[in-house]
Amino acid sequence: MAGHAEDADIIVAKNVNKWYGEFHALKNVSLTVKRREVVVIIGPSGSGKSTFIRTINRLEEHQSGDIVVDGIPLTRDVRNIEAIRMETGMVFQQFNLFPHLTVMQNITLAPIHVRKMKKQEAEARAMQLLERVGIPEQAHKYPGQLSGGQQQRVAIARALAMQPKIMLFDEPTSALDPEMIREVLEVMEELAESGMTMVVVTHEMGFAKGVADRIVFMDSGEIVEIGAPAHFFTNPQHDRTKLFLQQILK
């Protein structure tokens, strides 16, 4: 059951289907992500992007198909789910920081209680991460005292503190004021350069072009097209992709 370090594919999703009641939200979605790869998922609102990346760490349960993360099959078994969640960090559109805890406590809570790390070690590592995301001076403030951009950087540090192998981002800059988007994207770019495996849902086409190894285009619960950024943006194959790109790249 342990992860195979040699295995190049860290996320394997095969024919994943998901329904909300009668509504077919994911239709036979298959995607393989390699180690150290950055995959950007784009698509119109309601196309199932969030639903898909949330099935990877079981925030949503899929009804059929297989998902294997770092060699661990995603089943109903709580041990598998917890193992996969330890390997994957997630960053949300709304940050979802814990408002009753300081920045430092937000970052160290899971390492201490889930990874059973010593408090001192967890705090030392948290300071390193805060320096990495550029806000070491905010360690003892509460999330409510930070700007949106700062909060999202804390959220990234919080996820990284669990030393995940994979980072999932669900529209990390969509709730930010324009002048703060840059600071968050810079942190993500640095993370990608450091070799982190990333799956990113975003509307930031600059980031997609500059950082992604592959772009995945989703529409109505299906993957429509996958391609390297160079080809994807200049030479999209499917009509639906062309239409979407026309709309957003005007």
Partner 1 sequence: MTTDIRSTSWVNTNHPAPAQKPPATEVGVLGWLRTNLFSGIGNSLLTVVTLVALYFIVTNVVRWLLGAFWEPIWVNRKLFAVGQYPLEQLWQPAIVLLMVSLLFGLSAGRWGNIMRNLGIGLGALLLALALIPIGLQAQMVMAASLALLVIGYFIGVRVAISSRWLALAWVLSLPATFVILLGGVNLPTLGVTWNFAPLVESNLWGGLMLTMLLAVVGIALSFPIGVLLALGRRSNLPVVKVFCVGYIELIRGVPLITLLFMGMTMLPLFLPSTWGNPSQLVRAMTAITLFSAAYLAENVRGGLQAIPKGQYEAADALGFSGFDKLRFIILPQALTKVIPAIVGQFIGLFKDTSLASLVGLLELVAVGKAVIQQPAWMGVTGGVAKEVYIFIALVFFIFSFGMSFASRKLESKLGFGKR
Ligand X SMILES: Nc1ncnc2c1ncn2[C@@H]1O[C@H](COP(=O)(O)OP(=O)(O)O)[C@@H](O)[C@H]1O
Binding site for partner 1 (CB under 8 A): 57-59, 82, 85-86, 88-90, 92, 94, 96-100, 109-110, 113-114, 141-145, 158-159, 162
Please report how close the Cβ of residue 51 comes to ligand X at its closest, in angstroms: 3
Q: Is 173 in the site for Mg ion (CB under 5 A)?
A: no
Give the list of residues 6+ apart from residue 9 with CB closer than 8 angstroms, or none. 32, 33, 34, 35
Contact yes or no for 166/72 (Cβ under 8 A): no
Based on CB atoms, which residue is closest to ligand X, 18 or 125?
Answer: 18
Based on CB atoms, which residue is closest to partner 1, 114 or 230?
Answer: 114
Options 42-50, 56-64, 104-112, 237-245: segment touching Mg ion (CB under 5 A): 42-50
Please report how close the Cβ of residue 29 comes to partner 1 at its closest, in angstroms: 20
Site for ligand X in 15-44 (CB under 6 A): 20, 23, 25, 43
| Interaction mask 122-151, ligand X, x per CB under 6 A | ------------------------------
Q: Vertex 9, ends 5 and 15: CA angle to 5°?
A: 140
Based on CB atoms, which residue is closest to ligand X, 24 or 35?
Answer: 24
Q: Is 48 in the site for ligand X (CB under 6 A)?
A: yes
Task: Out of 45, 120, 234, 247, point to the residue binding ligand X (CB under 6 A).
Answer: 45
Task: Out of 29, 33, 37, 50, point to the residue binding Mg ion (CB under 5 A).
Answer: 50
Beta strand 214-219 pairing with 9-20: unpaired
- Count of residues touching ligand X (by CB under 6 A): 11
Q: Is 202 in the site for ligand X (CB under 6 A)?
A: no
Contact yes or no for 97/161 (Cβ under 8 A): no
Name the site residues for ligand X (rule: CB under 6 A).
20, 23, 25, 43, 45-51
